[in-house]
Structure 1
């Protein structure tokens, strides 16, 4: 790093760069989504291994900001990925420097970003998402200027920029752990529920629609994302869509899976159940094959008794009270839903489609209870 600093410092020696053929180390792929306020925290955990470190990247980015023609110099030397490798750092440091001046407005942000576009930085969707995360705790002050600036620089209307930001922030590969930026974008976007659902479907969060048994084994988001989506309400298409993912994941889990992932899956199932999010009846064949007691108990000792307004003796379920199922639009619809569940349970019993005795016992007991208390 000392050599990098010497060559690319505040007085970059272009003669030395050309004569020695100096080019920076290639970029560690991690830095494509790196947020530079985490420098001290993450630098120690990323050994060079032939790649540029975060500190190297910052030095390179500042050299490019001061001397943009370095991009052409390095491209002629064969470093053809220089723009893609340096864009994230250059954009973030440019905006951090601008923010430190106290002159942070839609106009000044747009001017800086347009200048970066003029030297062939594309301002990718990922980079814009990174900037929102960088300023996540200050978006109430600078968010409008950022959105307006990117709208101008990318020649996009504000609504399209907001939707682009939403889609990028909901990319499961981001492993979003803080909700500030996502909450800010959702608060500004038109018809947010529809847009969020569209983004979730874009990333195929619920996999295996035709063959649910091929679903992924663990949750695609951190728990903060699932919790945040409850803002739309238990009967929201967004929440019901995520509940479907949660239930499908549970049907694939076994008790020997990673303990942390099991705990997360159990916790979010508890929370969605407590919020009275309905179970997807179409997944019942998967419930019948579930190997863990958690989901089976949740279904037969919680959701279904509540739907049928009955009680299961010796119920020992979760640490919270069983929630009330919302009143459906009519008693006729309620009875129809009850009949559909009973039909599915009877079908499973007749076909003997069970993977474990616990499900068999609970299904038979529940059906017997309903035949006594809920004659149709």
Structure 2
């Protein structure tokens, strides 16, 4: 199935596309999930104009829930895409998109499973665990679409932080594996997304504190104490990241969340962080972490006086 060069003016109708697909299936050409995913990527730059036709045609011919297949294929980390129109179209027409995106992210184990390796400093850290699993535009789009406090964005932040710490540990403990043009590019991409999420105020989760305690990267620890926690507790933010380019302009419909009591949620998060900081005080920590922790505790004490 191929569109003519002047596809804008000769946009095929639904019946025409259904006929094409039906003729292929009659020749025992199977419309597998992977093939549907390939079609999405093939037409990603045209999806805003022809997405409804493709989706409806696939639904008619296969008699399946094509939208779920589309979302699953789009979130497959083995796929590469360059435009956000695919996500925007599918997310806008499915029910409970945040829940379904989270389900697929968990199915693909996007949150890095290598935390224990990072914490113990044992074994070789796979390079694949030190880079992002998606193109940077996906992280940018999800941040703009769902906002800094959404469950989707917070889930992705866990992947970003873990990969960043994995990178720092790989460079420190296995420097011979850390030099290649490809890895330098992927790490620059990781640094950019990490900086973008931090500057936007996407929360650090207390559960990641044991991992941060052993992080050799001064940047991650400063982002936590001098950036995120300082902002959360109302202290003067004394840390700025390297320049973060302005996010691309996305022509999208922002996802609307239910109203929450921001003050109540902030207070709850403060309590969770104080508990995390005061628990397991005898765990191994880096000198950098100890220095920033002591400084943060001093600021807490001064704030209580």
Asked whether the 8 Å contact 2:131–2:163 carries over to 1, the reply is yes
Cα drift, residue 109 of structure 1: 0.8
Q: Quick one: distance in 2 between partners of 1:98 and 1:105? A: 16
1:199 aligns with 2:107: no
1:339 aligns with 2:263: no
User: Partner of 1:309 in structure 2?
Assistant: 234
Cα drift, residue 113 of structure 1: 0.6
1:235 aligns with 2:149: yes
> Residues 312 and 277 from structure 1, CA distance in 2 versus in 1: closer, same or farther, beyond 3 angstroms?
closer
Asked whether the 8 Å contact 2:48–2:85 carries over to 1, the reply is no
- Cα deviation 1:38-81 (Å, max 9, x = unaligned): xxxxxxxxxxxxxxxxxxxxxxxxxxxxxxxxxxxxxxxxxxxx
1:95 aligns with 2:26: no
Task: Identify the structure with bigger relative contact order (alpha carbons < 8 Å, sequence gap 6+).
Answer: 2
- The TM-score normalised by the length of structure 2 is 0.79
Asked whether the 8 Å contact 1:243–1:279 carries over to 2, the reply is yes
SS in 2 for 1:181: helix
Asked whether the 8 Å contact 1:250–1:265 carries over to 2, the reply is yes
Number of aligned pairs? 270
> Residues 334 and 153 from structure 1, CA distance in 2 versus in 1: closer, same or farther, beyond 3 angstroms?
closer
Cα drift, residue 177 of structure 1: 2.6
Asked whether the 8 Å contact 1:301–1:317 carries over to 2, the reply is no
- The one of 96, 110, 113 equivalent to 2:21 is 113
Asked whether the 8 Å contact 1:346–1:367 carries over to 2, the reply is no
User: Partner of 2:256 in structure 1?
Assistant: none
1:115-264 aligned at under 5 Å gives the runs: 115-156=23-64, 160-208=65-113, 211=116, 213=118, 216-230=129-143, 231-254=145-168, 255=171, 256=175, 257=178, 258-264=183-189
Asked whether the 8 Å contact 2:18–2:58 carries over to 1, the reply is yes
> Residues 332 and 106 from structure 1, CA distance in 2 versus in 1: closer, same or farther, beyond 3 angstroms?
closer
- The TM-score normalised by the length of structure 1 is 0.65
Cα drift, residue 141 of structure 1: 3.0
- State which structure, 1 or 2, has the greater radius of gyration over its C-alpha atoms: 1
SS in 2 for 1:253: helix
Q: Quick one: distance in 2 between partners of 1:331 and 1:284? A: 23
Cα drift, residue 130 of structure 1: 1.7
Question: Please, which runs of 5 or more residues in structure 1 have no aligned partner?
Answer: 1-93, 321-326
Asked whether the 8 Å contact 1:307–1:338 carries over to 2, the reply is yes
Question: Please, which runs of 5 or more residues in structure 2 have no aligned partner?
Answer: 119-124, 245-258
Cα drift, residue 182 of structure 1: 2.3
- The one of 293, 297, 321 equivalent to 2:218 is 293
1:10-159 aligned at under 5 Å gives the runs: 94-96=1-3, 102=10, 104-156=12-64
